[in-house]
Amino acid sequence: MSRSTAPSRVLRRTGFATTLAAASVLLTAVPALAHVEVESEGAQALAQNVKVSFDAESESTTAGITELRVVLPQGIAPGDVKLAEGPKDWQLTANPDGYTVKGPAIAPGKNAQYAITVRQLPDAAELAFKTLQTYSDKRVDRWIELGANSESPAPVLKLKPAAPGAKPAASSTPSGSPTASAPVTATASPRTTPADASAKADKDDDGGLSAGAWTGIGVGAVVLVGAAVYFVRRRSSQQ
């Protein structure tokens, strides 16, 4: 092997390693492409009249968000939630397991931001607000999964421990009325709706894979092609 050949091989190996490292970063970042964020300054267990804000990120440049359907976490009844602020002309409607905020389509590419007032937060460490996000073209993003590595994570609000002496207030929901007190499993979807059907159709059309999954497959293909070129050049240089 000549001295001039050795540096070129080192450079090729370095470039290949760099490509692999960049691809690894992209693959691990895929699940965080978009999501719904939730925050509250009064996020404390058993706190009353708490304002909770949501920011639903837009993934479309051609269709605007028209609706957000939320399954309330255990301990919050639909009747204990009111719309504090939101996009112009949007309204909140209570559902048996949560609520829906909707109205005229927001401009394509713009996030849907709104806030609710909760009569009292439950005595818990964190609260998951599973959300179905609908666009004007009937596309549905399902932010309902739990867990740190979820591809479609539900927005989760972490709560501080309850203040000393804080107690649960009596629910404002009349006896016998449906509430969101029943626990929702990590893989369960909200009640079947036209939005659910649309979401299933979207997954069937693309083979059941999400946009994040297709992005990961694309990056993996690029890495494989790069590896093939590297080994072909290496073998040629040795002949």
Query: In the beta sheet, which residues pair with residue 141?
Result: 133
Q: How many CB atoms lie within 10 A of CB 152?
A: 17
Q: How do residues 224-235 score in pLDDT, each as one tens digit? A: 545 554 554 655
In this predicted model, what pLDDT tens digit does every residue of 194-203 receive, in sequence order? 444 444 434 4
Q: What is the pLDDT of residue 172?
A: 59
pLDDT category at 40 given cuts 50, 70, 90 is: very high
Range from 3-7, 8-12, 76-80, 220-224 that averages highest in pLDDT: 76-80
- Kindly tell me if the per-residue pLDDT of 90 is higher than 90: yes
Residue 30 neighbours by CB under 8 Å, 6+ apart: 151, 212, 213, 215, 216
To the question of pTM greater than 0.95 for the whole model, the response is: no
Say which amino acid occupies 83: L
Token pair belonging to 228: 């093939």
Give the model's pLDDT for residue 170: 76
pLDDT of the residue at 176: 37
pLDDT of residue 196: 46
Task: Identify whether the C-beta of residue 168 lies closer than 8 Å to the C-beta of residue 46.
Answer: yes
Dist CA 109 CA 238 (whole Å): 52
Structure tokens at 233: 């050049």
Does the pLDDT of residue 185 top 50, yes or no?
no
Residue 67 has pLDDT above 70, yes or no: yes
Please tell me the predicted confidence (pLDDT) of residue 19: 47
CA dist 46 to 82, 127, 129, 152, 215, Å? 17, 12, 17, 28, 42
Return d(Cα 149, Cα 205) in angstroms, integer.
25
pLDDT reading at 80 higher than 90: yes
Does residue 122 sit in helix, strand or coil? coil
* C-beta atoms surrounding 232 within 10 Å: 10
| Mean pLDDT in residue range 132-155 | 96
Q: Are 154 and 128 in contact (CB under 8 A)?
A: yes
Strand pairing category for 112-120 and 98-102: unpaired
CA distance 211 to 215: 6
Q: What is the pLDDT of residue 3?
A: 52
Lowest mean pLDDT among 104-118, 125-139, 221-235: 221-235
Query: How much is the pLDDT for 84?
Result: 98
Mean pLDDT lowest among 96-110, 138-152, 194-208, 224-238: 194-208
- 236 band by pLDDT with thresholds 50, 70 and 90: low
Distance of CA 94 to the CA centre of its chain: 22
Rounded CA-CA distance 183/172 in Å is: 19
